[in-house]
Structure 1
Amino acid sequence: MSKPSSRSALYRLIEAGQLAHKALLVPLIEKGLEPGDDAVLFVLGRSGTTETALADELGLPIDMLTARLERLADRDLITRQAVGPELEPGIALTERGLRIRNSLADHWAMLEEALMGELKPKHRKRLAGALGRFVELLRL
């Protein structure tokens, strides 16, 4: 068996993943946020929701989410308000939270474009599919 080469596709994929992860953390840290806060802001950017529904979507126990939500509320990124057709008690982004969420999404889109920009739409779809299959294979 040959030893892994720094020219192999897997090596490059690992390196790119690590660097992309670091690049995605930069705007979070600059805004005084913690890793994982972006996931909350992205979910709430679609619409307000209840804490239980948010915890379910993020795959977190409610007690782990509560402290994060308190911190985000203290920073005026989220607010408590009635949500949905039943007007249940819930949470939503404030204007400041929406601006920060949009800024993070723009940064994400810039990195996505750096990865896929040179590819034609058909090749983008193929690459995304291949990466998805690889992730599923590794999860087994």
Structure 2
Amino acid sequence: MSRPSSRSTLYRLIEAGQLAHRALLLPLAERGLEPGDDAILFELGRSGTTEMELAAELGLSEVALTTRLSRLIDRGLVTRQAVGPELADGVALSERGVRIRNGLADHWTQLEEALMGELKPKQRKKLGERLKRFVDLLSF
């Protein structure tokens, strides 16, 4: 069996994925955050929520989420406050958390634009659909 070519599309896709992953982790590390903290910040950026709802949305155990939230609260990125119409105990982003979340989102947008910037809208949509199909085929 021959060795996979470094010119193959799959090889380039793997290489791009690894480099994109590293590029997305860099601003987290620069801010003293851990991988996965961005998911919490993005989810809380939509609105405040209860810890139970947040754990369910992120697929984390309540214990794992509590550990992460404690660290983010200590860093001043998340605050405990009443949320929703029932004013349930919950968590939301602080002003600092909003700024950091926005910075991370801007960085994500820049990487997305570097990937898709030269493509026309229809080409972007087709690429997204094909990548989704590929991911679905590999998911078992």
| TM-score (normalizing by structure 2) | 0.98
In the TM superposition, 1:86-101 aligns within 5 A as 86-101=86-101
Q: Does 1:31 align with 2:37?
A: no
Which residue is 1:4 aligned to? 4
Cα deviation for residue 86 of structure 1 reads 1.1
What letter is aligned with 1:11?
Answer: Y
4+ runs of 1 displaced by more than 3 Å? none
In structure 2, the residue corresponding to 1:60 is in which secondary structure? coil
In the TM superposition, 1:100-139 aligns within 5 A as 100-139=100-139
Aligned mates of 1:70, 1:54 — CA distance in 2 = 14
In structure 1, the residue corresponding to 2:79 is in which secondary structure? strand
Aligned mates of 1:134, 1:3 — CA distance in 2 = 22
What letter is aligned with 2:119?
Answer: L
Which residue is 1:85 aligned to? 85
| TM-score (normalizing by structure 1) | 0.98
Q: Deviations over 1:38-76 (max 9, x none)?
A: 000000000000001110111111111101000000000
In structure 1, the residue corresponding to 2:127 is in which secondary structure? helix
Which residue is 1:69 aligned to? 69
Aligned mates of 1:136, 1:87 — CA distance in 2 = 39
Taking only aligned residues, the RMSD between alpha carbons, in angstroms, comes to 0.7
What letter is aligned with 1:72?
Answer: L
In structure 1, the residue corresponding to 2:85 is in which secondary structure? coil
